[in-house]
Amino acid sequence: MIDGARPRAGSETTPAATSSSVGIVPFVAGVDSSTQSTKVEIRDLVSGHVVGAGSAPHAAVTPPISEQDPASWWEALQTAWGQAVESVPGGAAEVSSISVAGQQHGMVALDARDQPVHPAKLWNDTESAPDAGWLLGQVADRDADGNRIDDGTDAWAAAVGSVPVAAFTVTKLSWLHRTNPDAWDSMARVLLPHDYVTHRMTGEYTTDRGDASGTGYWSPATGEYRWDLLAVIDGDRDWTDTVPTVLAPLDVAGEWNGIAVAAGTGDNMAAALGLGLAPGDAALSIGTSGTAFAVSDAPTADPSGAVAGFADATGRFLPLVCTSNAAKVLDAVARLLGVDHDEFDRLALAAVGQSNLPVLLPYFDGERTPNRPDATGLLGGLRSDVTREQVALAAVNGVACGMLDALDALRDFAPVTGRVVLTGGGARSSALRSVIAGLLDEPLTLAGVDQAVAAGAAVQAAAVAGGDDHAAVQRRWGLDAGSGASIDPVDSGDLRARYAELRDASS
C-alpha cells in the first residue's frame, strides 16, 4: 500500500481478461488541461486502446503576463468531451471513471461563490518574480542584529523540497496579496488548474500530492501543508479553509454524471504515468516548456533551485527540472523563416556538419532554469555568410542543449540508470531527436504514446476503476516500452561547450 491509498477489492486484472469479465463499465477517460488546449482520451480499461479522442483550444498567452479565464477550461472540456464520446460504443454511459491532469502551478483564486477574483495566473506568468525573492528573504536566517546571513533557499528547500520561483503558486499568491488587496479580501479558495476542473465536475475542493507539491507550500516529504510558509504571505487568514484537501493516489474525488472522478494530478506527474516510468527512468518532455524528470523512491531537496523536489501521482517522488522555452522556440524560428515544421526539419538537418555554425540561447520569454525571468533569446557566432539552414539548426541545437542542461542537473539528485524517454510535441522533430540522441551518452527512446499526459490521466482513472495499482495498468497497456522507432544520431562536435560559453557569458 502506498501513501495512505485506500484498500481496493479484487486482484490485478490479467492481460487476457476482457472488459465484460471484470464486470465493470469498459472504458476510462483521461483529460489533459494544458496551457494551450484541453485534450480528452477515452481508453479501453483492459487493453488501453484509444476508442475516442477530442480537443479544444485555450486562449493563447505570452509572458510576462500569462493569464486565462478558468471557466474557459471548463468550456473547452465540454467541447473535447463531446468529440471523444462520439466514437465510444454506448457513449458516455460506458465510461466508468475519469481523471484530470492540468498544467502545474497556476493560481485559481475563487470567492465564496466560486467565481474568480482575478484571471488565473499560469505557470509561465513572471509578474511574481520579485515576490519569489521577497518570500525567501522572510525565512532567511539572521544574526543577532537582524542582518540576513543566508538567502533563505536552504530553509525553503528543506521545508517543501523546492525553492520558489515565479512559476510556483506561492509566489503568485504573494503577488495577489501585494498588488490587489480587494481581490485578496474576496478570495475564499485557492486551487490549481486541475483542482478547478475537478471541482467543476464534483463540487469538491480537492487536489493530489503530485500537484500540491508544486505549490511551494506543501511538503512531499511529510505529506502536509506548511502553514508557516502560507502565514508569511498572510498571517491573519485561516488557510485551512482556503486550500484544497490532498487526496491519496487511489482516492476518488467525487462523481460527474455518474462517472467516478479520480484525484487527478499535475501534467508532469500524469506524463510519468503515461510513459510508464519506473525508478531510474527519466523523461525529456518538449512541449511549450521543456521538462526533465525522473521517478525516485526518495524525496529530494535542491537549495540551488534547479531541481524541484516534487511528489508523483503514485506515492513516489518526481524530481524535475523545467525550462520555460522549448518547442515554441522551434515554432518561432520556423515562422521567421516562413516554413512549416517539415521544411524546418529539412533545413536544420541540411546544416549538420557545417563549420562556423551560430549558437542560439533559447531564453525567448524569460527562463525558469536557470532562473532568469527577464532574459531574452541570444544568437551568437553570426557571420555574413549565415544561411537559413544554419539558423534553423541553431534553434534545434539551442533547445537540445537546454534540455540536456536540465537532464544534467537532474542526475545530481536522481540517478538515471534506466531509459531516457523523449516525449511532447517537440519530439516530432526528426532534427531535434537526432541532435539529442547524438549528445546523449545512453540510448534515447521515443515515447510509445502521442499524448502522454492524457494517457497518464487515463491510467489513474483505470486504477480507480479496476482496483489495480498504477504499475499494473501501465504493464497491461504496454506503456513501459517505447515506440520502437529508430533514431539516427548526428555528431554535433563541440556544440555543448560553445552553448555553455554563450550561456555563461550572458548571465
302 is catalytic: no
Residues in the chain where the model's pLDDT stays below 70:
1-24
Torsion of CA 172, 362, 427, 370, to 10 degrees: -50
Could you tell me the domains of the chain?
1-507 (3.30.420.40)
CA dist 440 and 438 (Å) reads: 6
In this structure, are residues 104 and 266 in contact, taking their beta carbons and an 8 Å threshold?
A: yes
Looking at 357-488, list the stretches that DSSP marks H as alpha helix, in order from N- to C-terminal side: 388-411, 430-439, 452-466, 470-477
Query: H-helix or E-strand containing 68?
Result: strand 67-68
Rg (CA), the chain: 22
- State the cell numbers at 80: 473535447
In this structure, are residues 40 and 76 in contact, taking their beta carbons and an 8 Å threshold?
A: no
Tell me what pLDDT residue 24 has. 64
Tell me what pLDDT residue 491 has. 94
Torsion of CA 351, 354, 355, 361, to 10 degrees: 30
CA dist 83 and 54 (Å) reads: 5
Q: Residues 125, 267, 312, 365: which is the catalytic one?
A: 267
Of 325, 435, 415, the C-alpha closest to 370 is: 325
CA dist 85 and 41 (Å) reads: 9
Tell me what pLDDT residue 17 has. 36
Tell me what pLDDT residue 22 has. 43
Tell me what pLDDT residue 373 has. 86
Looking at residue 142, the DSSP 8-state letter turns out to be B
CA dist 480 and 506 (Å) reads: 40
Tell me what pLDDT residue 244 has. 98
- State the cell numbers at 399: 533547445
Tell me what pLDDT residue 189 has. 98
Tell me what pLDDT residue 161 has. 97
Of 263, 252, 323, 277, the C-alpha closest to 31 is: 263
The owner of cell 525573492 is 133
> What are the DSSP E strand ranges found in 205-353?
206-208, 218-219, 224-225, 245-247, 252-256, 259-262, 265-266, 282-286, 290-294, 308-311, 317-323
CA dist 406 and 400 (Å) reads: 10
What 3-state DSSP class applies to 471? Answer: helix
Buried b (16+ CB within 10 A) or exposed e, 433-446: bbbbbbbbeeebbb
Looking at residue 356, the DSSP 8-state letter turns out to be S
Tell me what pLDDT residue 130 has. 96
Tell me what pLDDT residue 145 has. 76
